[in-house]
Amino acid sequence: MKDCSLRWTNFFNANEMEREERVWDMEFRVVREDNKTPLVRGIAAVFNKLSENLGGFREKIDPGAFDEVMNDDVRALFNHDRNLILGRTKPGTLRLSLTPEGLAYEYDDPGNSYSIDLLRSLERGDVSQSSFAFYVEDDRWDEDSEGRVIRTIKKFKRLFDVSPVTYPAYPDTSVGKRSLEAFEAEKTKGLQAQKDLEEMNERIAQFEINEANGLIGHKN
């Protein structure tokens, strides 16, 4: 009899067109030089680093996940508020780059009242978290050796904005949770299929044993 053990790696993309946001606790650098516009530098996302528990799963980002969205028209916003724009890639006031650590960004301070207040908060350390908003195109769901469910983002579909934010909480995991539910459902279905297959294999094996021992009659 063949060993018919179950091996599964789930790919689930039904929610690829739903906007998500994630937050990282990062350090900002404000660069001030004489007679020059201040620069703000930060990291929007970190590669291969597990997030905190997002409600039944953890998440990490593959290097290369941002490759297809680096030319998107991306905004820098404060707290993801479209009314508090800090920079934009199209005119060059926001610049994105990929580093070994993750997705980095820098923007030229626009010099308006809210951005000047934000500069002070960044320098004081009152604001120390960075976030980004996105669509996912490709992700993978697995369980690690400790039984934790891990979502790996393989490829982003769209990058909307990068944002210094006030709070470190993950504000939107509803999309991920629905993907988790689908993953768990597929896992349960797969485990049940494995159990059914094992039971069938056992019945076949027992039948073959009985037949070999002459316990099953044959008609002439």
Report pLDDT for 205: 73
Which position has the higher pLDDT, 84 or 184?
84
Three-class DSSP labels, the chain: CCCCCCCCCEECCCCCCCCEEEEEECCCEEECCCCCCCEEEEEEEECCCCCCCCCCCEEEECCCCCHHHCCCCCEEEECCEEEEEEEECCCCCEEEEECCCEEEEEEECCCCHHHHHHHHHHHHCCCCEEEEEEEEEEEEEEECCCCCEEEEEEEEEEEEEEEEECCCCCCECHHHHHHHHHHHHHHHHHHHHHHHHHHHHHHHHHHHHHHHCCCCCCCC
Whether residue 20 has pLDDT greater than 50: yes
Model confidence pLDDT, tens digit, residues 27-48: 789 999 888 899 999 999 999 9
Report the distance separating Cα 196 and Cα 176, nearest Å. 30
pLDDT-derived band of residue 6, with 50, 70 and 90 as boundaries?
very low
Mean pLDDT of 99-106: 94
For the cut 70, the answer to whether the pLDDT of residue 193 exceeds it is no
pLDDT value, residue 215: 65
Q: What is the pLDDT of residue 203?
A: 75
Supply the pLDDT for residue 216.
Answer: 63
pTM strictly above 0.85: no
Q: How high is the pLDDT of residue 179?
A: 52
Of all residues in the chain, what percent carry a pLDDT higher than 70?
75
CA distance 125 to 120: 9
Please report the pLDDT score of residue 16 as a whole number: 41
- Report the mean per-residue pLDDT for the chain: 80
Average pLDDT over residues 158-174: 74
Tokens of 161: 């904005």
What pLDDT score was predicted for residue 51? 85
Contacts of 90 (CB under 8 A, 6+ apart): 73
